[in-house]
């Protein structure tokens, strides 16, 4: 079964607005990663946050992690048309395996 559940399943916003996606998971983790998937393509790694971190930034991306609530959020600021894609969280237990969530389909309206 899927470890992560993303919320919302789909999100449409105007270009320039901020987009927030949430991920919940069930078991203890070592790290949580976010990936992007453009239509018909493979997944691309965006950012990783470790279990002992609460917030991380990379460019227009901001990720938070609340291990007590077993949840994470991904914020994309000042969205662009090129950000249109599906976004997945993936949890790792410190070994090789990642368990992916169900994904959020983000559409940026020009």
Q: Which residue, 42 or 110, has its beta carbon nearer to other proteins?
A: 42
Q: Which residue, 12 or 30, has its beta carbon nearer to other proteins?
A: 30
Q: Which residue, 13 or 48, has its beta carbon nearer to other proteins?
A: 48
Residues that bind other proteins (CB under 8 A): 2, 31, 33, 40-45, 48, 88, 92, 96-103
Q: Which residue, 71 or 103, has its beta carbon nearer to other proteins?
A: 103
Number of H helices, E strands in the chain: 0, 11
Per-residue tokens: 96: 């090789």
Closest CA to 92 of 6, 25, 32: 32
Contact 70, 23 (CB under 8 A): no
Task: Kindly give, in sequence order, each residue whose CB lies less than 8 Å from that of residue 22, ignoring residues fewer than 6 positions away.
Answer: 6, 7, 71, 72, 73, 74
Question: Residue 107 Cβ, how far from other proteins at the closest point, in Å?
Answer: 17
Question: Residue 5 Cβ, how far from other proteins at the closest point, in Å?
Answer: 10
Question: Residue 21 Cβ, how far from other proteins at the closest point, in Å?
Answer: 15
């Amino acid at each position: 079964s899927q470890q992560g559940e993303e919320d919302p399943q789909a999100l449409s916003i105007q270009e320039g607005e901020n987009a927030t996606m949430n991920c919940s998971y069930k078991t203890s983790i070592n790290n949580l990663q976010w990936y992007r998937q453009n239509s018909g393509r493979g997944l691309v790694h965006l950012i990783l946050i470790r279990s002992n971190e609460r917030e991380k930034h990379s460019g227009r991306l901001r990720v938070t992690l609340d291990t007590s609530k077993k949840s994470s959020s991904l914020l994309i600021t000042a969205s662009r048309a090129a950000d249109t894609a599906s976004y997945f969280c993936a949890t790792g237990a410190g070994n090789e395996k990642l368990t992916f969530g169900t994904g959020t389909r983000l559409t940026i309206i020009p």
